[in-house]
Structure 1
Amino acid sequence: MERECIEEGLPTTRPLLLDAQPTPNTIHEISNFNRAARDSSIASVLFLSTFIAVCGSFCYGCSVGYSSPAESGIMQDLGLSLAAYSVFGSILTIGGMIGAIISGKIADVVGRRRTMLLAELFCTPGCLAIAFAKDAWWLDIGRLLIGLGAGLLTYVVPVYVAEITPKNLRGRFTSAHQMLTSCGFAFSYCIGNIISWRTLALLGSIPCLLQLLGLFFIPESPRWLAKRGREKEFEASLQHLWGKNADVSVEAMDIRDIIESFQHNSEGNALDLFQRRYRYSIIVGVGLMLLQQFGGNSGVVYYSSTIFAEADFSTILGSTALAIISVCDRVYLV
């Protein structure tokens, strides 16, 4: 019949669009469009969740950089001796050590989000205790509380961000933890030169409060939910992070396989690390961490204003230079 139509000069009954075949460029454009649509749905939730998480990193950075610009003001206003202020500066490390020891267990038992919530329940009162302190005891208690919270945050924040992020974005998103820590440190160093130590402590509580409130609006880590056997919540959290229209079946299967493999291969205990075959790795790993701490980096950071003053160098200029170097270093690594 088509032949007769052609012979009579009439159009064929077959639509021309059915004969058109997609070109490679068309397929590539469609693929890019679908990927962009998917990434946009992921980005809105991921950016919010990551931002709320790294507010804790910023809080930690502020606490690390606090003692140097606040030193002269605190010693003058409260009449602290050098020894008493040294206790105030160093007690953050003691609290951080305690928090770091228990951080892994707490994060596994109560979840990543609740661990960050617990950390801010330490950090926020700690900042306020310092801001309204009347003597050295309030300063030390506040600093210790911040250390406890910081010890929890330095573990759970990068873990949470890594667990909610797709593989192709994981490296860039987890680097935000170190970046915001350096930004918090630089903030304290720069702003602390022009405001009082009480105001600086109050400003340090803002990211704590922001994370404290924001934690109620972000999902729990899907990997932790899957590890705890909460399947419905696991899929709902993953779907929320990836977008309503995204297919999360492949990612969910990968997470389940990884957790099953981990649980199958984690039947040992901490004493297994002392076996002869692990001796070299343990010595190198722990040795590098010890050398880093024995390098005196914390002492320089906590009391740099005194170091610059003793060297007859401008405290403001030196602190600002350290802040810029810290941020530039993290930007380069990212």
Structure 2
Amino acid sequence: MQGFSSEPGTHGPVTEVPPEGMRRIYRWAAMIAVGGFLFGYDTGVVSGALLFVTDDFRLSPTEQGTIVSVLLVGAMVGALCAGRLADALGRRRAVALEGAVFLVGTAIAATAPAYWTLLIGRVVLGLAVGAASATVPVYLSEISPTRVRGRVLSANQLMITAGILVSYLVDLAFASSRDWRLMFALGAVPATVLTLCCLLVVPESLPWLVRRGRWRQAREVLDRVLPPEEASRVVARLRNEVPGPRRKPGEEPERPVGWRTLLTPGVRPALAVGLAMAVIQQFGGINTIIYYAPTIIEKTGLSASNSIFYSVFIGVINLVMTVLATRLIDRAGRRTLLLVSLAGMALLVALLGLSFIAGWNSELSLVCMILYIAAYAGGLGPIFWVLVGEVFPPRVRALGSSTATTANWIANFVVSQAFLPLAAAIGQGQTFLVFAVICFLGLLFVARFVPETKDRTYEEIDAALQARFGGPGGGRGEAKEPARRG
């Protein structure tokens, strides 16, 4: 298996990882991806818990909305700080700290005696959700062999959708007892697993260790996935290839990168793709359906009880299609799945909007909604997180991921706050037509600017980006991309 990521400048200089080494890499990826599960669980569980919190604390509509949206505000801050944190502490310690913050936020929310305490708990959870959403893709990218990098990175989205589905099922299981505190409290289980796995099992990212001259620890990581002689050979080569003057053992070989680095000509194409895909993923309308699915389904004429049931069904579709995307992403490629996904989303959300405007039967509206979610989960949903881990240069990968993820959370917040007022002003069907136009514009952006990243090292990805953006070696939109490697 080609490409265990150890070289600062590429995704994969190691030519062969034995099966036992690959099994370890997959285990590490699964443990770190629990951060994605918590992302999904803590954003989804509030939809059912809020029904009973509202009765206990006698919340106004504004207070109900704040309980939901304040997590998004915390996530913006958490994502913005995550890049610096991951560069300073290392990827493993950063994720362990985020797991601890999940535990603190869960404890505050589950034991909250009043509205304001619950609000604080949701803010703390938001900080952890945002930070994890930025850090997890970076770690997954840096441990991934080239040929399965898409599959490993999409594990993050797979766990997000699993977390959302589990949160819906937990809400359904405890709805009869009205125990909203237990709904929140169960999030402590995966948070504990994440923290302990990061502290006791998962190793540090190899590129992070190499860039800081921590050769003994780097060798220990390599020994866990490679035969001893191969690990020695890789370490010797890396010592010769790391740029810069010779340094004493343990000496830090590079200074922390700043935000301005993202605006340099060599990084700008990656930043443009990261920011644009972050906005397209949210402005395409997906979270209006995830957050407001029961409300939207009720508008089709179905009862409230049926609305809750279909919300769980939507969660199942979301998970199943994400599993399918995970299987296809290293075969069909990122770009192909993105184009098909956005085309399907544009068509289906347009039909959903027309079904409301024309008053078509509720079953047709529900089918459009489910197929729209399937189109999203089979492409745009997981591939955004894959691209965030692939397009940025290794030295600024954490900072770039942090920036793109922050933009994603800002767009999430804007859409969530604007959906109901916009639907009230111009109509729910017309609002879905706006989402259809955005999906179509996203399709055009991907067709013009997003290269294929499947089976490519960072240098090949960068060359393709520069070509598409007219940078060095490129030419005004002609994608003079390197040939794909088998």
TM-score, with length taken from structure 2: 0.55
Q: Which stretch has the larger CA shift, 212-221 or 226-235?
A: 212-221
Residues 75-154 of structure 1 mapped to structure 2, 5 A cutoff: 75-154=54-133
Aligned to 2:183: 200
Q: 1:274 to 1:208 in 2, by over 3 A?
A: closer
What amino acid sits opposite 1:289 in the alignment? A
Task: Provide the C-alpha distance between the structure 2 equivalents of 1:301 and 1:97, rounded to a whole number of angstroms.
Answer: 19
CA contact (8 A) 1:127 1:142 kept: yes
Aligned to 1:333: 325
CA contact (8 A) 1:38 1:246 kept: no
CA contact (8 A) 1:59 1:205 kept: no
Q: 1:278 to 1:227 in 2, by over 3 A?
A: closer
Task: Provide the C-alpha distance between the structure 1 equivalents of 2:70 and 2:240, rounded to a whole number of angstroms.
Answer: 43
Aligned to 1:12: none
Q: 1:244 to 1:273 in 2, by over 3 A?
A: closer
Question: How big is each residue's C-alpha offset from its partner over 1:123-147, in whole Å with a ceiling of 9 and x where there is no partner?
Answer: 1111122222221112111111111
Aligned residues: 296
Aligned to 2:212: 228
User: What value does the CA root-mean-square deviation take over the aligned residues?
Assistant: 3.2
CA contact (8 A) 1:61 1:181 kept: yes
Task: Provide the C-alpha distance between the structure 2 equivalents of 1:330 and 1:113, rounded to a whole number of angstroms.
Answer: 26
The structural deviation recorded for 1:189 is 1.6
The structural deviation recorded for 1:309 is 4.1
Aligned to 1:71: 50
CA contact (8 A) 2:158 2:319 kept: yes
- Unpaired runs of 5+ in structure 2? 1-15, 245-252, 327-486
The structural deviation recorded for 1:324 is 1.5
The structural deviation recorded for 1:329 is 2.4
Q: 1:111 to 1:131 in 2, by over 3 A?
A: same
Residues 132-211 of structure 1 mapped to structure 2, 5 A cutoff: 132-195=111-174, 196-211=179-194
1:248 alignment partner, SS class: helix
Aligned to 2:275: 286
Task: Provide the C-alpha distance between the structure 2 equivalents of 1:54 and 1:255, rounded to a whole number of angstroms.
Answer: 28
Task: Provide the C-alpha distance between the structure 2 equivalents of 1:267 and 1:112, rounded to a whole number of angstroms.
Answer: 14
What amino acid sits opposite 2:206 in the alignment? P
The structural deviation recorded for 1:321 is 2.1
Aligned to 1:217: 201
Task: Provide the C-alpha distance between the structure 2 equivalents of 1:207 and 1:239, rounded to a whole number of angstroms.
Answer: 29
CA contact (8 A) 1:67 1:302 kept: no
Task: Provide the C-alpha distance between the structure 1 equivalents of 2:128 and 2:242, rounded to a whole number of angstroms.
Answer: 28
What amino acid sits opposite 1:304 in the alignment? A
The structural deviation recorded for 1:43 is 3.5
The structural deviation recorded for 1:90 is 0.4
Task: Provide the C-alpha distance between the structure 2 equivalents of 1:204 and 1:258, rounded to a whole number of angstroms.
Answer: 44
Question: How big is each residue's C-alpha offset from its partner over 1:175-194, in whole Å with a ceiling of 9 and x where there is no partner?
Answer: 21111111111111223112
Task: Provide the C-alpha distance between the structure 1 equivalents of 2:169 and 2:30, rounded to a whole number of angstroms.
Answer: 22
CA contact (8 A) 2:36 2:136 kept: yes
Q: 1:317 aligns with which of 292, 309, 314?
A: 309
- Unpaired runs of 5+ in structure 1? 1-36
Q: Which stretch has the larger CA shift, 278-287 or 126-135?
A: 278-287
Task: Provide the C-alpha distance between the structure 2 equivalents of 1:281 and 1:114, rounded to a whole number of angstroms.
Answer: 26
Percent identity of equivalent pairs? 28
Q: 1:92 to 1:170 in 2, by over 3 A?
A: same
Aligned to 1:53: 32
Residues 258-297 of structure 1 mapped to structure 2, 5 A cutoff: 260=243, 270-271=259-260, 286-297=275-286
CA contact (8 A) 1:67 1:303 kept: no
CA contact (8 A) 1:97 1:151 kept: yes
What amino acid sits opposite 1:142 in the alignment? G
Task: Provide the C-alpha distance between the structure 2 equivalents of 1:281 and 1:171, rounded to a whole number of angstroms.
Answer: 17
CA contact (8 A) 1:239 1:246 kept: no
1:229 alignment partner, SS class: coil
Task: Provide the C-alpha distance between the structure 1 equivalents of 2:261 and 2:29, rounded to a whole number of angstroms.
Answer: 35
The structural deviation recorded for 1:295 is 4.0
Task: Provide the C-alpha distance between the structure 1 equivalents of 2:257 and 2:195, rounded to a whole number of angstroms.
Answer: 36
CA contact (8 A) 1:89 1:302 kept: no
**Structure ranking higher in helix proportion:** 1
Q: 1:258 to 1:173 in 2, by over 3 A?
A: farther
Q: Is 2:230 the partner of 1:247?
A: yes
Aligned to 1:43: 22
CA contact (8 A) 1:223 1:255 kept: no
The structural deviation recorded for 1:171 is 2.5
Task: Provide the C-alpha distance between the structure 1 equivalents of 2:264 and 2:195, rounded to a whole number of angstroms.
Answer: 42
CA contact (8 A) 1:78 1:136 kept: yes
What amino acid sits opposite 2:310 in the alignment? G
1:71 alignment partner, SS class: helix
Question: Could you say which structure has the larger radius of gyration?
Answer: 1
Question: How big is each residue's C-alpha offset from its partner over 1:107-162, in whole Å with a ceiling of 9 and x where there is no partner?
Answer: 01110111011111211111122222221112111111111111111121121122
Q: 1:285 to 1:43 in 2, by over 3 A?
A: closer
Task: Provide the C-alpha distance between the structure 1 equivalents of 2:121 and 2:166, rounded to a whole number of angstroms.
Answer: 20
CA contact (8 A) 1:69 1:305 kept: no
CA contact (8 A) 2:100 2:192 kept: no
